[in-house]
Amino acid sequence: MVFSSILFLWVLLPVILFCYYLPMPHLSAKVHLHIRNFLLVMFSLFFYAWGEPKYIFLMLLSVLLNYVFGLLIESRSKKGILMAACVAANLLLLGYFKYFNFLVEIWNQLAGNAGLQLSVRTVALPIGISFYTFQALSYVADVYRGENRAQKNLLYMMLYICFFPQLIAGPIVKYHDIEQQIQERKVTVQEFSYGIKRFIAGLGKKVILSNTFAQVVDSVFAYQPVDISRSLLWITAALYMLQIYFDFSGYSDMAIGLGKMFGFTFQENFNLPYTAISIRDFWRRWHISLSSWFREYVYIPLGGNRKGSVRTYVNLVTVFFLTGIWHGAGWTFIVWGLYHGFFNILERCFLGKWMGKGKWNILEHSYTLFVVLIGWILFRAPTLSYGIEYIRYLFLPHEGILLAERFMNLKTVLLTLIGILGSGILQGLLNRKGIRLASQGRISFVGMAGYLTVMWLSIMLLVNNTYNPFIYFRF
């Protein structure tokens, strides 16, 4: 189940909110909170089980595994061995379900005709396994480093891992950021209303904008690059930039909004990444929860930038290799990650000396968008060879039979312009006047009309169109 579905919007969410805020005047605040936590866990398990009921046991195994390891690491002396065993157990679960067939294919290619080939199995990818595995690992790592006490309440641990707003697509929530909220929280009218606004804003991003761009992108990528005109190749690449941003940031907005409705504050996951003026700046703005996770639990423990330039570059390559493979089992993701790592190193070596000075913002911004656009082609391509061919034909004159006029109707053109404006231009203009979109505080009549319009349009599109893809659903 996803948030941008009629079933969730009209059935599950109203039921959850009704049960969560059902008055219980004769109970103490502490008991009331325990009941609310239990309700959230039960509804979260139902939410996850709706799509893949058999994999709910895998998620519960992950919860129990890390709960036990947290207790053992806190109480035993050989913390390093226990931590290593915990990391290995988590990565083995993640590796089997996400990377088994990819590794088998690599092995078979290396084995050649030696008769050592392995058979590929049908291993389905459990929804959200990368997200909840990383959340679980951050909890155990915090206990290992002494930043948090081990959680002895299994219900609290289940709520941390299984909480449905961030369960299947983040943002990745670190345990030390949410521990206090699990045990004590209140919801004000202002926070609840902000949660509704943030959810509607995310829903509009996903349904109105991203889904429209996705229809064009998916249709074009069904053809070979040589058959696609150069203009359509560039347009499709730009549309995918918009699609993946509004898809993922929209889902993050919905998750943050839902969290607010139940008294939780999640980390922001996006900060207008297409306004970045360098690749390093881009990664400070894109998928912030993943970037900060790798920085805190991988990059810094490896030594960060404290052990000389060469070691820093090795650490960066390691982090971006892991970032790529975290997104999926395929060479396209690995090359995409290393590609971004290469430009991060390039900027540290010499490009950064001329960047961020305030004199060349247009050139810096253009460079960043171009690098990101090329990277997204590799990310979206079904195979690495397809991605390379796509990039080659962006610059190679050819007579493609598939023309832009076939896909770019008036609706798509208008929404593309709105998407471009909404990627940072509009926010920048409004910020200069002290106005922020989907902000906390009172809402004007015009603002309320705007949110209701976005909600109405989103629901109408969901009712009349079954095309509702979600990019990060498989990560």
Instruction: Show which residues are catalytic.
Output: 327
Residues facing residue 228 across a β-bridge = 402
Cα distance between residue 445 and residue 442, in whole Å:
10
Q: Quick check: 126 and 167 in contact, CB under 8 A?
A: no
Q: Quick check: 37 and 178 in contact, CB under 8 A?
A: no
Q: Is 455 left (phi over 0), alpha (psi -120 to 50) or beta?
A: alpha
Cα distance between residue 224 and residue 402, in whole Å:
10
Q: Give which of 84, 173, 100 is closest to 134, Cα–Cα.
A: 173
Cα distance between residue 288 and residue 286, in whole Å:
5
Say how many C-beta atoms besides its own lie within 10 A of residue 245's C-beta.
24
Q: Quick check: 138 and 174 in contact, CB under 8 A?
A: yes
- How many C-alpha atoms does 262 have within 13 Å on its Cβ side? 32
Phi, psi of 270 (to 5 degrees): -140, 145
- How many C-alpha atoms does 46 have within 13 Å on its Cβ side? 13
Residue 395 identity (one-letter amino acid): F
* Measured CA angle at 387 (ends 400, 373), to 5 deg: 90
Q: Quick check: 127 and 166 in contact, CB under 8 A?
A: no
Cα distance between residue 368 and residue 387, in whole Å:
19
Kindly report whether the peptide bond that precedes residue 53 is cis, defined as omega within 30 degrees of 0: no
* Angle between helix 230-261 and helix 361-380 axes, rounded to 10 deg: 90
